[in-house]
Amino acid sequence: MKRSTTFVMGLLLATSALADGGNSVYIDQTNADQSGVTITQTGSNNNVGSADTNAGDPFTIDGNSMFLTITQDGMNNSILGNFIGGNSTATISQIGNSNSTVLNYGNFGTSSGALGISFNGSNNSSILNIGTLRNSSNYLYNLDITGDSNTVTSTVNSAYTTNNFNLAGDSNTLTTTQTGFGTLTGGGHNINTNVIGDSNTITVSQDGNTIANSAVINLTGSNSAISVIQH
């Protein structure tokens, strides 16, 4: 099958070829089987992989089917970590200033995918850990933030997940953890959040081993604290 790769060739460092103003791309493609990778940065001081190529780490894109589109538009946005294995698919878009995304994919257990992630605002951050402890095959993940200074941390280590996170507002914190129950054909944990407001703190933990858990949180308001624990 023909491989379509845009701006990804082996271990690559680029500081000016793709964008102006000191943007940088530092990636390690490895085998990246049927790639099709597009990275676009507009603005200044944005980076994919460590901006310090002498002391930092590249953003790793590993292999199999793959499809990765990264778009950063603004100033001082950063994407670090890795995107490893499986049937892949990813779309990451950070629009605004000083946003950061850190992906930590395990070397196993990510045989299918999707991902998502999108910011429209400034000083937002997301940290995603997937497949680092257990099989996370067939996962789906979506994150959409409009606003400033929001923080999302997600850990996905169950075999099947379907998540949809939407936040509109400022200074919200969302933390989710999913382990345990799931099959390779479906029927795993899922979380759906729709938050409109500021300074809310939401924590969801799903760790059932015998039944799939489902959490739906619709919140309109500010300064709320919500904790959901499902066994």
Other Cβ atoms less than 10 A from the Cβ of 189: the count is 28
Q: Residue 165: beta bridge partners?
A: 143, 193
pLDDT at 8 over 70: no
- What average pLDDT score do residues 2-18 get? 41
pLDDT at 4 over 90: no
Share of the chain above pLDDT 90, in %: 48
The confidence band for 32, taking pLDDT boundaries of 50, 70 and 90, is: low
The confidence band for 18, taking pLDDT boundaries of 50, 70 and 90, is: very low
User: What is the C-alpha to C-alpha distance for residues 92 and 41, in angstroms, rounded to an integer?
Assistant: 12
User: What is the C-alpha to C-alpha distance for residues 182 and 101, in angstroms, rounded to an integer?
Assistant: 27
pLDDT in tens, 159-199: 788 899 999 999 999 999 998 876 656 678 899 999 999 99
